[in-house]
């Protein structure tokens, strides 16, 4: 049975704190709440369902271990996502997909589904849309997923230097478009 | 003039990143195909629970994980019978014994080094004999039945035996006060007898191979040491020969790898 509280965010934090005290039922509920969207979002970064499933399981195993150190500052969802995307990168490092992720559907999904939602139909959104998909991908990976250049390189399957040069090219184009 | 254009996009993205769930669910119009169906979610949670219920990894397994050994190899190493504490204790005692016997049988300590050098290569051989076979291996039945690469299993276990034996023997070498460089003159002979055992194990059982090579080694030492003095018995000639034999042994082993399917490992 779930306590119905007015603030779902508060509910989430209490769940994580209970997980931190070793409450397996709380972990199950946290999974119930967040497992679905994490799977959806991870699938947009990686086309291999096996890797996504492993990353998802690793995420909740990490949550089980780290929950007692969790500081209730931001959204629980954001905390979960930072863990999940790094577990995904760990998996990609262990068994890189045969072709770079950037070449396949998943990252196009990020650009189609998430970036417009994040930026809206604004001047910013239009400017972002004018970038090449590969430039959009590095910006989404670094800004939207909060990854370091090195992590973004692992996720996209490209060298770190390429991430840096694409980022600076993207910034340059955006400055021109928006000025 | 808007040098902050890119920056404002990044800020907007980062602000949105604080609501990852919204981004996922609001954009999930592709339906269940890319997303998560109930069966998949349940299977993943079952995987999580299984992992949580699994017995905690042993200290050795965690150490191997830290050293970068991959998850599928770790159980092969930790399940090696000769890694068991009893075996480790017995080789430590054997090494101490060898050091001690030598010191009481001779005043100048030359014999001690000979005893140690003669015995040292037998330790990994013993480990090899104890690493394989139904009599000593509780995982033998599983190993035979599992669709595992027999060659890989054999290689992983042999390396495990060699590394543990060598570590104990190296500590033993340090404990011997005299002998200089000769204290580690057992290294290449030990490698040679181990690789020859590995090569022979592609034809005979590991235990028989180890026994035969052990007897052979004792014969060689007796003949060489009888013909020359201690220095010559473990001198450069023997070292180079040992290295050559190691290479030949290992090449033979890898060439005959297909014979090492699980069924031949009795």
ipTM of the complex: 0.79
Do A117 and B14 make contact, defined as CB atoms within 8 angstroms? no
Task: Give B40's contacts in chain A (Cβ within 8 Å).
Answer: 39, 49, 53
DSSP A112: I
Which residue is associated with the tokens 């930026």?
A119
Task: Give A38's contacts in chain B (Cβ within 8 Å).
Answer: 24
**Are residue A85 and residue A144 in the same domain, yes or no?**
no
**Are residue A147 and residue A92 in the same domain, yes or no?**
no
Please tell me whether residue A177 adopts helix, strand or coil conformation.
helix
* Six-digit token string for A160: 């770190």
% of chain B surpassing 90 pLDDT: 0
Do A143 and B24 make contact, defined as CB atoms within 8 angstroms? no
* Six-digit token string for B192: 């040679």
Q: Which residue of B has its CA nearest to A85?
A: B20
The domain boundary, picked from A98, A128, A157, lies at A98
Q: Please answer whether residues B18 and A143 qualify as being in contact, where contact means their C-beta atoms are separated by less than 8 angstroms.
A: no
Of A40, A56, A128, the CB nearest to B24: A40
Which residue is associated with the tokens 């590394």?
B163
Between B116 and B136, where is the model more confident? B116
* Six-digit token string for B34: 């890319």
Q: How many CA atoms lie within 13 A of B80 on its CB side?
A: 28
State the Cα angle at B95 between B90 and B100, rounded to 5°: 120
pTM here is: 0.58
Between B29 and A93, where is the model more confident? A93
**Are residue A85 and residue A122 in the same domain, yes or no?**
no
N-terminal to C-terminal alpha carbon distance within chain A: 55
Check pLDDT > 50 for residue B264.
no
Average of per-residue pLDDT across B125-133:
77
Domain region containing A133:
100-179
Indicate which CATH number applies to the domain containing A104: 1.10.10.10
Do A144 and B27 make contact, defined as CB atoms within 8 angstroms? no
**Are residue A158 and residue A112 in the same domain, yes or no?**
yes
A50-64, B61-75, B174-188, B217-231 — most confident range: A50-64
Q: Please write the tens of the pLDDT for every residue from A87-137.
A: 998 888 887 666 555 445 667 777 777 887 788 777 888 888 888 888 888
The rounded distance, in Å, linking the Cα atoms of B257 and B222 is 33
Contacts of A24 (CB under 8 A, 6+ apart): B49, B52
Between B18 and B232, where is the model more confident? B18
Please tell me the predicted confidence (pLDDT) of residue B235: 76
Please tell me the predicted confidence (pLDDT) of residue B127: 80
The rounded distance, in Å, linking the Cα atoms of A146 and A140 is 9
When scoring A114, A115, A125 by the number of chain B Cβ atoms within 10 A, the one with the most, hence best to mutate, is A114
Burial label for B263, CB within 10 Å (0-12, 13-18, 19+), is: exposed
CA dihedral sign of residues B20, A69, B10, A59: negative
Q: Under an 8 Å CB criterion, which residues of B touch A? A: 1-3, 5-6, 8-10, 12-30, 34-36, 40-41, 43-45, 47-49, 51-52, 70
Please tell me the predicted confidence (pLDDT) of residue A104: 53
Residue A1 lies in a domain: no
Please tell me the predicted confidence (pLDDT) of residue A166: 92
The rounded distance, in Å, linking the Cα atoms of B2 and A166 is 19
Count: domains in chain A? 2
Length of chain A: 179
* Six-digit token string for A11: 């509910």
Burial label for A71, CB within 10 Å (0-12, 13-18, 19+), is: exposed
Residue A40 lies in a domain: yes
Q: How would you write chain B as a 3-class SS string?
A: CCCCHHHHHHHHHHHHHCCHHHHHHHCCCCHHHCCCCHHHHHHHHHHHHHHHHCCCCCHHHHHHHHCCCCCCCHHHHHCCHHHCHHHHHHHHHHHHHHHHHHHHHCCCCHHHHHHHHHHCCHHHHHHHHHHCCCCCCCCHHHHHHCCCCHHHHHHHHHHHHHHHHHHHHHHHHHHCCCCHHHHHCCHHHHHHHHHHHHHHCCCCCHHHHHHHHHHHHHHHHHHHHHHCCHHHHCCHHHHHHHHHHHHHHHHHHHHCHHHHCHHHCC
Residue A30 lies in a domain: yes
Please tell me the predicted confidence (pLDDT) of residue B33: 45
Do A35 and B26 make contact, defined as CB atoms within 8 angstroms? no
Please tell me the predicted confidence (pLDDT) of residue B43: 87
**Are residue A77 and residue A105 in the same domain, yes or no?**
no
The rounded distance, in Å, linking the Cα atoms of A65 and A14 is 16
Q: Which residue of B has its CA nearest to A105?
A: B34
Confidence of residue A59 (pLDDT cuts 50, 70, 90): very high
**Are residue A78 and residue A118 in the same domain, yes or no?**
no
Between B85 and A174, where is the model more confident? A174
The rounded distance, in Å, linking the Cα atoms of B35 and B33 is 5
Task: Give B21's contacts in chain A (Cβ within 8 Å).
Answer: 34, 37, 75, 77
The domain boundary, picked from A98, A115, A142, lies at A98
The domain boundary, picked from A66, A83, A98, lies at A98
Cα dihedral value A122, A126, A131, A132, nearest 10: 120
**Are residue A34 and residue A67 in the same domain, yes or no?**
yes
DSSP run (H or E) holding A106: helix A105-109
Task: Give A118's contacts in chain B (Cβ within 8 Å).
Answer: 12-13, 15-17, 23
Indicate which CATH number applies to the domain containing A79: 1.10.1740.10
Task: Give A36's contacts in chain B (Cβ within 8 Å).
Answer: 25, 35-36, 41
Of the candidates A63, A7, A66, which has an alpha carbon nearest to the alpha carbon of residue A30?
A63
């Amino acid at each position: 049975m779930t306590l119905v509280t007015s603030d779902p965010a508060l509910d989430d934090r209490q769940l994580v704190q209970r997980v931190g005290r070793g409450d397996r039922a709380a972990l199950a509920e946290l999974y119930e709440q967040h497992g679905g969207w994490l799977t959806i979002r991870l699938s947009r970064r990686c086309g291999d369902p096996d890797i996504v499933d492993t990353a998802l399981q690793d995420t909740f195993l990490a949550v089980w271990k780290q929950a007692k150190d969790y500081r209730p500052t931001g959204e629980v969802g954001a905390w979960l996502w930072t863990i999940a995307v790094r577990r995904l990168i760990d998996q990609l490092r262990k068994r890189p997909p045969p072709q770079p992720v950037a070449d396949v559907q998943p990252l196009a999904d990020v650009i189609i589904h998430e970036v417009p939602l994040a930026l809206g139909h604004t001047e910013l959104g239009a400017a972002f849309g004018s970038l090449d998909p590969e430039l959009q991908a590095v910006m989404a990976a670094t800004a939207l997923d909060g990854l370091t250049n090195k992590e973004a390189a692992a996720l996209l399957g490209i060298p770190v230097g390429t991430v840096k040069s694409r980022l600076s090219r993207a910034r340059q184009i955006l400055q021109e478009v928006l000025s | 003039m808007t040098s902050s254009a890119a920056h404002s996009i990044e800020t907007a993205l980062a602000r949105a990143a604080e609501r990852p769930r919204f981004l996922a669910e609001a954009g999930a119009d592709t339906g269940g195909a890319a997303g998560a169906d109930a069966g998949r979610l349940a299977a993943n949670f079952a995987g999580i629970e299984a992992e949580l219920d699994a017995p905690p990894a042993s200290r050795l397994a965690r150490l191997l994980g830290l050293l970068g050994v991959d998850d599928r190899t770790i159980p092969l190493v930790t399940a090696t019978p000769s890694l068991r504490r009893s075996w480790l204790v017995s080789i430590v005692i054997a090494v101490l014994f060898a050091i001690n016997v030598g010191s009481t049988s001779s005043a100048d300590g030359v014999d001690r080094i000979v005893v140690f050098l003669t015995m040292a290569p037998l330790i990994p051989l013993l480990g090899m004999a104890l690493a394989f076979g139904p009599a000593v291996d509780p995982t033998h039945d599983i190993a035979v039945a599992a669709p595992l690469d027999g060659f890989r299993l054999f290689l992983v276990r042999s390396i495990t035996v060699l590394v543990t034996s060598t570590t104990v023997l190296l500590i033993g070498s340090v404990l011997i006060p005299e002998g200089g460089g000769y204290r580690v003159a057992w290294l290449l002979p030990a490698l040679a007898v181990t690789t020859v055992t590995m090569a022979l194990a592609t034809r005979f059982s590991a235990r028989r191979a180890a026994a035969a090579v052990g007897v052979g080694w004792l014969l060689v030492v007796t003949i060489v040491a009888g013909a020359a003095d201690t220095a010559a018995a473990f001198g450069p000639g023997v070292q180079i020969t040992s290295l050559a034999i190691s290479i030949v042994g290992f090449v033979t082993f890898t060439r005959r790898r297909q014979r090492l399917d699980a069924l031949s490992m009795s």
